[in-house]
Structure formats: C-alpha cells, structure tokens
Chain A
Amino acid sequence: MTEITRRTALGAALAIPAAAAMARTAFAADPVEIDLFFPVPVQGKLADKMKELIDRFNGQHTDIKATAVYTGSYDDTNLKTRAAIKAGKPPAAVIMSANFVREYVINGDVDPFDPIIEKDGKTPAAFFDNFWPALKPNAVIDGKVYGIPYQNSTPLMYYAVDAFKDAGLDPEKPPETWADWVEAAKKLTKPGGDRWGINFPGTYDYCGWLTSAFVMQNGGQYYNHDYGGEVYYNAPSTLGALTLVDTLVNKAKVMPPGVSDANACTSAFFAGRLGMMLLSTGSLSFVRDNMKAPYKVAFLPKSVRNAAPIGGASLILPKGNTPERQAAAWTLISWLISPEIAGEWSRFTGYFAPRKAAYDLPDMQKFLADHPDAKIALDQLKFAVPWFDTFNTVAVRKAMEDQVQAIFSGKIAPADACAAAQKAADELLRPYVEQTALKVVG
C-alpha cells in the first residue's frame, strides 16, 4: 500500500505543474478569449453539434477564440453562472433558461444589449422585430433588451393515429376545445390501464409550464407579465384550469393518476398505450426518430382562446466583462442568431428558430415541407404566450406545482389548491413586493 501511495503522490506531483502550465498557455494566446456557457436540455448529441458550431465560428473569426462550456441542466447552468459572476469570473455569454432572465435583471447581474445594438446602428426595438413577438416579454424587461432568444419551444399535442381509428375518432380532426378533448380522451381510454386517453408530464418545470398553458387558454394571465411580484393563482381562470386537470385524472379517469415524467409519456406513446400526450415541440425529433406507428401533432385544445406558452433559452451578457470580451461575445451571439445558423440549429434540435428570417431560407422551407409536424408547431406560434417569470421564479412556480401534483394524486380539491398556492406564492414574493410595489415613498 505504501508503494501505491508513493506512486500516486509522484504522479500527482508531476501532474499538477503540467496542468497549471496547460491552463497558463491558454491565456497567453493573442485573440480575445471568450467562453459561452450552455446547457444541454435534450440530448448528448447537441453538445457535439454546439462544439462543431463553435469550431466553425473560430475558423471564420481569427481574432476571437470562443470556447463552448457545457454546464449541465438549465438549473446547473443557472447555479454555475451565478457562482462565476459572484467569484469575479463571469462567462462572456450564457444560454440561459428564458424565464430566469428577469431574476438576473432584478439582481443586477446582467448588462443590457441596448448599447451594443445601438453601436451597430439599429434601435433595440427594430432589432427585436427580427424575433417572434411572443418572445419579447421574457427578453425585453423594463424597456431594455436583456435576452436574445436562441432556442425556443412550446407545448404541442401529439396523438397516435391507430388509437384514434381504433376508438372511432377521425385522425384528421383532432379535438380543438377542452370539451372535445375530454370526450376524445374518454373514447380512447381502455379499462385496466391498457390504454390511457391523455397524459402529460407533471414533474417540476413541465407541470408549471402546462398549468400556465391551461390558465391562459382559459382566458387568464396566470402571472403579471410586466412585474415580477404578482401571480394570479386564485383567479377564476386558474380555478377552471385546475378543475380541468382534476376532471381528467379523478372524475373522467382518462389520465393516469400520480405524477408522470416525460419518459413515461413517450414510452407509453411509443408502445401504443397512450392516445394523446402534451409534450414540448423540443421533443419532435425524439418522437419522430422513435415512434414506429403513425402519429400526428395538433395545437393545444382551447377553452376561451388558444394559448401555448414559450419555453427554451436566451443568450445573456453577464455583468463584469471587459468591453473587449463583450464585443467579442456580441460577434458570437450575432453569428449564432444569424438566419443560417439559427435555422441549422433548429433543424438539428427540433426547437423552433426564434429569428423569423430563418424560415425564409430554402433549407428551412424544404424542411417544413418534409416535416408537417414541425410546420404545425410553427403555426401554433401565433397563439404563443410568454413564459412564467417572477421574482424567485423557481420557488414561486413550485408553490403552484406542489398543489397541481396533489390534484394528480387526488389529494386536494381544485379550489383549495388555488387558495393554498396563492398563499404560498404571496409569502415568497413578499420581500420583493415590499421593496417595490409596497415601498412607502416619502
């Protein structure tokens, strides 16, 4: 054992200076070095694709050396970015979950894009007209551009053609309203769990996303889109949405009880044991690659109106970078959101391209013609609504999710769930509200 110890000690003694030397040479090079933090929310192949894009960027821009840094899930990326900013080593740019941007603004940890956009000779408003309008509330905060949309999604309804035929439904006419939806789900459900009519993920994040979709379909706002201190968890539109969930699971019994995750939904869907599922448009490639039987996609059903909340990620500029690094980061960001690259990333990932012009390119036109499901996902964008973002986003989101999960398990009535969620959320929002809306002026 002493032998081994001696050897490892020697190995480490040799390795430490070597690693340190490697790190030092990395800083000695001439071009401006920038790092881009990016999460991989879907699959490992995306990390390789991102690396390939960055290599291409570096090849075309000899004055900049960009490195793509894989930083785990959206939540890990958030954590690492915060820690790096606090420690005085902010990354040059980050692909950040779009609903966290507001908190960075509230905490003063990001710089607005406005000055760099103006330097390019554009007004920020004109610049943002390049993107789908529904992306604006999560990116333009207090009148300034803090986020540049990069990869976005909305929920989408996927349904199995064979199950529809088997249940006597017309696969060409998917349900359009909540009432049609529940009816179709009843017909699709077979006793004993052989086939469920409908399912969607009830895990954290997904749960809040879909709940906000139902509330907004029901005519509601769900939260104050302009001010991070208010949520409308106890409004009639929310009560109606939670009653719909309660009906699906506990009254009509067309949806499996308990909390399902995305994998449970896709596995059952691929195996023919699920008629309809609500899942992100970001899953289109995955479903397309793995579903053997025919399937189709459709808009989310509506109540008062159609509504599909935005999801995905935006590029942000963390505070504390030198002007040189920020300028280089802007060059990288402009390149990443150019219609060609944005379109390529969209085709590879299944996310839609936030840049409208990407869809005018021949490659993209051909892709949409070949993939009608992607076309429907894009068409639904006209009903897109913003993504839940408040002060302390995750905790406030969970205040509602915990209640909805209790409904999935049949443990609480919708009205009680609304009241409990509102109470918990108000508690969490209080510190911010007291510093802003309730601040005494005098």
Chain B
Amino acid sequence: MRADGRLWALIAASATALMWAVPFAWMAVASLRPGVPPDIASLTPSGPFGLSNFAEAWTSGSFPLWYLNTLLMCGGILAVQLVTISMAGYAFARLDFPGRDLVFALFLLQLLLIPPLLIVPNLATLVSLHLYDTLPGIMAPYFASAFGVFLMRQNFRAIPKDFEEAAMLDGAGVPVLIRHVLLPLARPGLVAFAIVSVTAHWNEFLWPLMAVSSPKNQVLTVGLASFTSGAEAGSAWGVVAAGTFFVAAPLLILFLVFQRRFISSFVYSGIK
C-alpha cells in the first residue's frame, strides 16, 4: 500500500513538473528558430535552428543597463527589507508594548490590499518626496514588507529564549542580540524571504512601468515588453522568446546553482 501511495505521489509530482516545464521548453525551442516559422507552436520542429534571435533581441534592447537597474532595484529593496523586517519582527516577537497585537493585525491587513489600488497614492507620495522617475522611487514602497515581518516574527518566536538570556548574561544589548544571536539562527527564514522578494520584484511589471519614465531607469520587464507585440500585427515569437530567456536566465541559473540550499531553506522556514 505504502509503495503504491509513493508511486501516485511521484506521478502527480511529475505531471505538475511537466506542466510547469512545457512553457520553458517551448521558449528554449522557439528562441532557436530564426524568422517566423509557420509551425512556431511546435515543441519538436525539424529546423533550421540558429542563434540569430538572441543576437537580434540583444541588439534591439539595452540589456546591460536593464540588468544593472534590475539588480540595483532588487538588491536595494532586499537590503532595506532585511533590516526592517528583522527589527519589526523582533519587536512583534519579543518586545512588550501596548497595542502590540493590534498593530500587528493592522500590518497583516496590508496583505489584503491589491497593489494596483495603491498606484496613484504611491505615485503622489513619490512626487512629493522628489523620487518620481528614480530607482529609489521604484524601491520605496517595498521597503517595509508585511509578509517579511510576519515571517521573521514566526522565526524569532520559534527560537528558545534560553539563547537570548545566555547572551544577555554576557552583557549583550538588543542590537548585538539580534545581530549575533537571533539572525544567524533565523537564517533559513531570511534566505526564504530573500528568494520570494527577489523573484517578485525581478518579475514585476506594472509598478516599475508607472514609477519610472526615463529610459536610463528602465528595468528588464518593462524593456522586454517592447519586444512583445500588441494588438495589430503578428509577432516575431522567436525574438520574444530570446528576450524572455535573457530576462529569466539569471534567476534560473541562480536557482540551479543554489537549488539544494533554497529547498532546505523553504523546508526549514515552513513556506511552501
């Protein structure tokens, strides 16, 4: 019976993996086919194959600039987030202050708001802070993360208080405590949050499109959109696939390299 259950689980997992993999496989195949082949939807075409789509995609966009901006954006958001979520998570997990649970509930409520609702108010704030059309402007609304605070609070609460008490006996203050005792122990949580944060912001389209106008501040997703065709003509799918590959590649490579650590982080931190 048990072997049977494992077999079914394996089949279900493989089927899901296959569904997930088909678009990637198609992207890889289509990006290698020059021109506009009539059977562009095919996963197993007969050729001809070539790299011309990659060359065309690379030259028709400013990929180096877009990579740089996207890295700065994701890195900047994450760096600030790691500080804010650790401190806020600690406050909600360990400090006693009046209205703590109410404030925490208000924090979580923010998760219920759909982001497009906030576009206009956020833009107005950026304008008054003189951050409109700047990279810090794209990052600013994400500096605090309700999800991250929640995650770090759970992580800190799972750590036995003995560690902290021992450190305090040795004369450690709160900053030292967070930095040298709690954060190392909560590392899987931080890594898991980092993955979620970077993937989300790497892939985000609407907010960067709204917050930034100058070409010099453009990020990958917005740049890629200039390849994809719109309403009127047919599109050169090969070039679109090659451009998409450029956008997705860094995250894919990162995942392949750090696969084992990523998965163990997710398992430890309890995010699925």
Name the one of B82, B119, B214, B231 contacting A5, with C-beta atoms under 8 angstroms: B82
Q: Which A-chain residue is minimally distant from B82 (CB atoms)? A: A5
Considering only residues 176-207 of chain A, those with a C-beta below 8 Å from chain B are: 203, 205-206
A189 to B194, CA, bound (A): 56
| A-binding segment of B18-26, B129-137, B154-162 | B129-137
Which single member of B72, B78, B225, B233 contacts A72 (CB below 8 Å)? Answer: B225
Distance between Cα atoms of A280 and B61 in the complex (Å)? 26
Given B39, B214, B232, B239, which contacts A42 in the complex, CB threshold below 8 Å?
B232
The A-contacting residues of B in range 202-233, CB under 8 angstroms, are 206, 209-210, 213-218, 222, 225-227, 229-233
Q: Does the CB pair B234–A267 fall under 8 Å?
A: yes
* Closest CB in chain A relative to B136 CB, distance in Å: 5
Q: Are B215 and A67 in contact (CB under 8 A)?
A: yes
- Chain B: residues with Cβ within 8 Å of the partner, total of 56
Is B75 engaged at the interface, CB distance under 8 Å to the other chain?
yes
Among B36, B123, B217, contact of A84 (Cβ-Cβ < 8 Å)? B123
Query: A74–B82 contact, CB under 8 A?
Result: no
Task: Enumerate A14-45 residues with CB–CB distance to B below 8 Å.
Answer: 15-16, 19-20, 22-23, 26, 35, 37, 39-45
| A108 to B184 Cα, complex, angstroms | 56
Query: A184: shortest Cβ distance to chain B, in Å?
Result: 23
Interface pair A263/B237, CB less than 8 Å apart: yes
By beta carbon, the residue of chain B nearest A351 is B232
Q: How many A-B contacts are there with CB distance less than 8 Å? A: 167
From B41, B82, B120, B215, contact of A83 by CB (8 A): B120
Q: Which of A5, A15, A280 sits near B135, CB closer than 8 Å?
A: A15
Give the residue name and chain of the B residue nearest to A87 (CB): B123
Interface pair B230/A48, CB less than 8 Å apart: no
For residue A309, CB closer than 8 A to chain B, the reply is: no
Q: Is the CB of B38 within 8 A of A267?
A: yes
Contacting pair B80 A12 (CB below 8 A): yes
Given A5-B79, A280-B232, decide whether A16 and B123 contact each other with a Cβ distance below 8 A.
no
Shortest distance from the beta carbon of A338 to any chain B beta carbon, whole Å: 24
Compute how far the CA of A79 lies from the CA of B217 in the bound complex, rounded to whole angstroms. 19
B68-92 interface mask toward A, CB cutoff 8 Å, 1 = contact, 0 = none? 0000100110111011000000000
- Which residue of chain B lies nearest to A206 when distances are taken between CB atoms in the complex? B231
User: In the complex, what residue of chain B is closest to A289 when comparing beta carbons?
Assistant: B36
Say which size band chain A's interface belongs to.
35 or more
Contact A43 B187 (CB under 8 A): no
* CB–CB A88/B233 < 8 A: no
A153: CB under 8 A from chain B? yes
Interface residues of B in 15-42 (CB under 8 A from A): 35-36, 38-41
Contacts of B236 on A, CB cut-off 8 Å?
43
Kindly state whether residue B110 has any CB partner on chain A within 8 Å.
no
B151 located at the interface, meaning its Cβ lies under 8 Å from any Cβ of chain A in the complex:
no
Q: Beta-carbon contacts of A299-331 to B below 8 Å, as 1s and 0s?
A: 000000000000100000000000000000000
CB of B178 to closest CB in A, whole Å: 13
Which residue in chain A gives the minimum CB-CB distance to B122? Answer: A87
Contact of B191 among A1, A11, A265, A267 (CB under 8 A): A1
Report the minimal beta-carbon distance from A339 to chain B, rounded to whole angstroms.
24
Task: Check B184 against A44 for contact (C-beta < 8 Å).
Answer: no
Do residues B119 and A83 form an inter-chain contact, with CB atoms below 8 A? yes
Report 5 cross-chain contacts, Cβ distance below 8 Å, ordered by A residue: A12-B72, A68-B215, A79-B210, A80-B209, A283-B234
Further pairs besides A15-B72, A73-B230, A83-B210: 20, Cβ < 8 Å: A1-B187, A2-B183, A2-B184, A12-B78, A26-B214, A37-B213, A40-B230, A45-B60, A48-B60, A70-B226, A73-B225, A83-B120, A84-B213, A86-B123, A87-B132, A89-B123, A89-B127, A91-B213, A266-B36, A283-B234
